[in-house]
Chain A
């Protein structure tokens, strides 16, 4: 299957700082990527859709100025959590759909654990 990587795998930061998380498709191109967050013992909640060459689209209730998304190339999307606060502590996961004969199966990155002190 296709491989999606994330970096870093975990990060601890002080309140008020900004954190950037990278999502890369390693062996395929992805014009679209998705960003999710997952709180402990809960399911994944879609935050935004990252589109290569255009602005991201955010789900209702997600602050676009707080969660900045940049889809710089066909293999890289970044999520920047600006002025992070403890309530932003969560597990962030990205995914990318694989187009073509595999019927757009989605492949997920390993996730990034963010802890804001």
Chain B
């Protein structure tokens, strides 16, 4: 059974600092990995999707890396802003469509 772990569980940084969020998974036989953002009481917004054959994906200030063999992904958010405050979830997908989610990292960016 796939286990997904996100460390740290919570993170508080001053505005402008770079954020580093970690995700690890136990079964490296994945099809892709997806990073999501969730605001309180809201649904999930897809941020980045990395295929198993890719090493990283970038979108604006966001960069996600994937090391499938070691079961790790890292989400980098450059020059954090208060609007980046949210919970960030990573999810891995095996060969079928089912996603296994981590518990998330709750980020607070202080103005």
Interface residues of A (CB under 8 A from B): 1, 6, 32, 34, 42-46, 49, 91, 93, 95, 97, 102-111, 113
Contacts and interface: CB of A to CB of B under 8 A. Distances in A.
Interface string B22-49: 0000000001101010000111111001
A7 to B, nearest CB: 13
Contacts of A95: 44, 99
A105 B46 contact: yes
Interface residues of B, number: 22
Nearest to A2: B46
A15 B43 CA distance: 25
A93 B98 contact: no
Contact of A106 (B41, B51, B99, B103): B99
B43 A106 contact: no
A42 B36 CA distance: 14
B55 to A, nearest CB: 15
- Closest A-B pairs by Cβ, 8 of them: A108-B44, A110-B43, A43-B101, A111-B43, A43-B103, A44-B101, A108-B43, A105-B49
A15 to B, nearest CB: 23
A6 B42 CA distance: 11
B32 A97 contact: no
Contacts of A105: 34, 46, 49
Contact of B97 (A6, A43, A44, A106): A106
Contacts of B89: 43-44
Given A44-B89, A111-B42, A103 B49 contact: yes
